[in-house]
Amino acid sequence: MGRRKAPDPEVLAEDGPAKPLASWLSWGSASGRNPDMADPTSKQRLTKAERKEEARRQRVELQRKMARSRRNRKVAFGVVAVLVAGVAAFALTRPQEASATPADLLQDADQARQTAGCGTVDDVGSYQPKSSDRSHIVARLPLSTYPSVPPASGPHNAIPYGAGVYSTPPPIDRVIHSLEHGAAIVWYAPDASGQELDRIRTFYEGQKVGSRVIVAPYDYPDEGAAGTLPAGTRMALVAWHKVQKCANVNLAAAFGFTSSYTAPPFGQRPYKGEAPEAGAAF
């Protein structure tokens, strides 16, 4: 038998024209075969590169976040420092309100009366007829029938009014009964306001100094001129038969009066009042 001849690269395929050898090799790649089969380590090298790049990117992002966090902390610390410094400066420079101790107020009472434009403590006398000065009534009488504005004695309700600080005008017929029992009243104009009035209200809310004192606005518009404080009077201090008028509200002036004209008086001070039932409950 003769030697068999190798097929010519240019020979025709059974079902088509001849293809060069290089074409057959390239056809193998283009026909969907996995190109990595040619180099089984190429995919592994690409994955390592991707991981390396991802690690680098994460490090850069972490560094950015840390730098941003440091900046934010610095800003926050700066803001807190400014706020603390501002609060400290305000606490050091704001006006300090002196504590309204009874001893300090009594020491300042004489000067305070001048500052507040207070007159003398007037004895306004009894209601006329005098026999009615302490009588109990059911229906209120016009305030114009009383000898002073505000009233300091006269016919009154059978039930006294309790001590305390009031923001509305109390029933004046009951307040007069409290005067009979040794109360003192700090009346103020209804349009009065400000720090000094606040100090009065706060001070007399204390049980030790306010247990025999009534603080309230004097405002009875239905009673005509007798239902408002006299012109130029912003504060009126009243005990049984006693009235002191002041041009301005003033805590030291008020306490100077109430400390002596309540029954019992404050501390060891002598009682200057003349309440018929001094010390009785109300």
Q: Which of 45-54, 102-111, 130-139 has the lowest mean pLDDT?
A: 45-54
Burial of 83-103, coded b for 16+ CB within 10 Å and e otherwise, reads eeeeeeeeeeeeeeeeebebe
Q: What contacts 24+ positions apart, CB below 8 Å, involve 267-276?
A: 267/102, 272/121, 272/242, 273/182, 273/184, 273/239, 273/240, 273/242, 274/240, 274/241, 274/242, 275/179, 275/180, 275/181, 275/182, 275/183, 275/239, 275/240, 276/134, 276/180, 276/240
Q: What's the pLDDT score for residue 56? A: 80
- Count how many residues are written for the chain: 282
- Average pLDDT (169-181) is 98
Give yes or no for residue 98 having a pLDDT over 90.
no
Instruction: Assign 3-state DSSP to the chain and report helix, strand, coil percentages, each to 5.
Output: 45, 10, 45
Q: What's the pLDDT score for residue 58? A: 80
Q: If you ran DSSP here, which 8-state letter would residue 62 be given?
A: H
Give yes or no for residue 23 having a pLDDT over 50.
no
pLDDT confidence tier of residue 81, bands split at 50, 70 and 90: low
- Average pLDDT (50-79) is 76
**Are 282 and 163 within 8 A, CB to CB?**
yes
> What does the block give as tokens for 270?
């002598």
pLDDT confidence tier of residue 90, bands split at 50, 70 and 90: very low
User: pLDDT tens digits for 108-141?
Assistant: 999 999 999 999 999 999 999 999 999 999 999 9
Q: Please name every residue paired with 44 in a beta bridge, in sequence order, or none if there are none.
A: none
Give yes or no for residue 42 having a pLDDT over 60.
no
pTM of the entire predicted model:
0.67
Q: What's the pLDDT score for residue 77? A: 67
User: pLDDT tens digits for 236-264?
Assistant: 999 999 999 999 999 999 999 999 999 99
User: pLDDT tens digits for 144-168?
Assistant: 999 999 999 999 999 999 999 999 9
Q: What's the pLDDT score for residue 76? A: 67
Q: What's the pLDDT score for residue 46? A: 64
User: pLDDT tens digits for 206-228?
Assistant: 888 999 999 999 999 999 999 99
Share of the chain above pLDDT 70, in %: 75
